[in-house]
Amino acid sequence: MTHSRARAARRAALRKTAERGFEAAEQRLPVAAGGKALLRKAFPEHWSFLLGELALYSFVVLLLTGVYLTLFFDANMTEIRYHGAYRPLRGELMSAAYASTLKISFEVRGGLLVRQVHHWAALIFVGAIGLHMLRIFFTGAFRKPRDVNWVIGLTLFVLALAEGFSGYSLPDDLLSGTGLRIAEGIMLSIPVVGTYIALFVFGGQYPGHEIIDRLYPLHILLIPGLLVGLIVVHLILVVVLKHTHWSGPGRTDKNVVGHAMVPQFAARSTGLFFMVAGVLAVLGAVAQINPVWNYGPYKTHQVSTAAQPDWYVGFLEGSLRLMPPFETTLFGHTVMWNVLVPAVILPALLFLVLYMYPFFERWITGGDETPHVCDRPRNRPVRTALGVAGITFYGVLLMAGGNDVLAFTFDISLNGLTWAFRVLLVVGPPLAYLLTKRLCLSLQQRDAERVIEGEETSHVRQSVEGTFSADHEPLPQGEKFRLAAQRFPPPLEVDAAASRSARLRAALSRWYYTDSPARQWRTIDHQRERAQTAVSGLRAEQRAGRSVSDRSARTGKRSRTLRRR
């Protein structure tokens, strides 16, 4: 009895302490008002939404492992003679940076594991950001008012590439030194200012003695700080602008349907973090990556065969290998087009197009709505086809970056493979565009038929005349709504006396919203009208149905998950 009373007294004291702390915080910060709205924030449930969380949690692992590695790494290019634990390199001259990398790998407790976890986390971080951006692109989640968040996300991707390359170059091994040599050649290819840029970056003639000292603060301080700041802004905008969700009964552009942040979403998200950390730990333990001791210290007169960068800069390697040798001399200055075009102009144009695409699509489509419902990729065939064409273009460049490895592995001609990639780089994206657009239109046609006629069963009937017909069963109401609730606005129309820019905008709108023949658009539009009529009764059900939204979340109602019947 005495023990129970003491335990109750401790609980009461703890409760009073917590209440006093909360009151003190409330007097200085809007804890109650802001915390209640945030804790009851609704988050939709779909597997594709986990890609952003995967990028976030791999970044957290990157920060934790990076702090540990910073304690032992020596960012110094002073040459020393190695006398460490790795016997094959004893007595070799190398930089202090490379020697400290070997020390981390073979002498620091857990150093090799942390190094490999750090490297794997970097690869997954960049890959998760790329997949997350693709999900946003194909579902139209970049549309107003989320176009600013698209710009922030793309900037995060660019910074992640720079962060990865700077970290990859720090060990000063033969492979990373080869990458720095390529980077110097790219800088030198820039007309007029290229030489000055290279001298400034390397602190003199290549390789100099300052590049590691300059990359180190960029890698551990400046770029991570920018990444953390932009990630925070990105997450704040996700909360303020509301999360997108997929179409379904009760889901509109006015609400957000999903689980409350606490406890459902927080529990699942915490579990995902530990899963990501666990998988990265397993990869770091069993999957060797970047064994710098096998490459040896960097020497300017040496280069290894089958040298490949990390995958996220492989497309630049491929573009350099596919560009034919071409240079011109203007006013006594040589312009190396074979390096300038694939390594400077092409990436600049690529990211410029990505930055401007949300504003371009909004200009040609018109409208000032603020959509929260994701587009199904098949219902935006032109956008989806453009995305697949871009992926094809990137994939060809990525494969071309390893053309020497492919030629050696499959015992084929390197020159023949290079020409095949050149042809595929030109022909592949247009073919991918046409095939993807045809596929999307066919899937739209199939969706309309399913809504109108129902789903085919395994039963076939034979009439008295001898003809056969398949039985159909009606789709569930939720599935009907999902297939027919998409918006299909008509193309923009302008008068004949309109300005040239207005006519161009209308032409681009017709190209975006319709197939080439006008008859095809009328056919699809007519089927969509029939499909909408077939599920018109669901509108009343949607208004009467109960859904979890931000409004219900703010009132403290328990979140529910809408399930397909």
Two structure tokens written together for 323: 């560009």
CA atoms within 13 A on the CB side of 315: 14
Two structure tokens written together for 171: 């060990």
Round to whole Å and give the CA distance between 319 and 397: 6
Two structure tokens written together for 461: 């009937």
Asked whether the whole model's pTM tops 0.75, one would answer yes
- Each domain of the chain, given as residue ranges in start order, spans 2-31, 376-457+474-543
CB atoms within 10 A of CB 305: 7
φ, ψ (nearest 5 deg) of residue 334: -90, 125
Distances (CA, A) of 23 to 38, 127, 510: 19, 44, 60
Are 256 and 243 in contact by the 8 Å Cβ rule? The answer is: yes
Contacts of residue 170, defined as CB under 8 A and 6 or more positions apart, other chains included, come to 73, 75, 97, 101, 176, 212, 215, 216, 219
Distances (CA, A) of 346 to 160, 340, 402: 19, 9, 19
Are 149 and 244 in contact by the 8 Å Cβ rule? The answer is: no
Distance of CA 459 to the CA centre of its chain: 44
Long-range Cβ contact pairs of 335-342 (< 8 A, separation 24 or more) = 335/189, 335/191, 336/188, 336/189, 339/185, 339/186, 339/188, 339/189, 340/189, 340/190, 340/191, 342/316
pLDDT given for residue 26 in this prediction: 66
Q: Which residues pair with 329 in a beta bridge?
A: 334
Are 254 and 483 in contact by the 8 Å Cβ rule? The answer is: no
Q: Which of 120, 4, 109 is nearest to 58 (CA)?
A: 120
* DSSP H or E run through 79: strand 79-81
pLDDT given for residue 218 in this prediction: 95
Handedness of CA 447, 452, 458, 460 (dihedral sign): negative
CA atoms within 13 A on the CB side of 456: 8
Round to whole Å and give the CA distance between 516 and 534: 28
Are 401 and 315 in contact by the 8 Å Cβ rule? The answer is: yes
Round to whole Å and give the CA distance between 166 and 219: 6
Q: What is the mean pLDDT of each run of 10 residues along the chain (565 residues)?
A: 74 81 69 66 85 95 96 92 93 94 95 96 96 95 91 96 94 92 92 91 87 94 96 92 83 80 86 96 95 91 82 92 89 87 95 95 80 87 95 96 92 94 96 95 85 80 79 78 72 80 86 58 49 52 47 42 34
DSSP code per residue over 162-192: HHHHHHHHTT-BHHHHHHHHHHHHHHHTSTT
DSSP code per residue over 290-301: --HHHH-B--TT
pLDDT given for residue 182 in this prediction: 92
Round to whole Å and give the CA distance between 241 and 152: 14
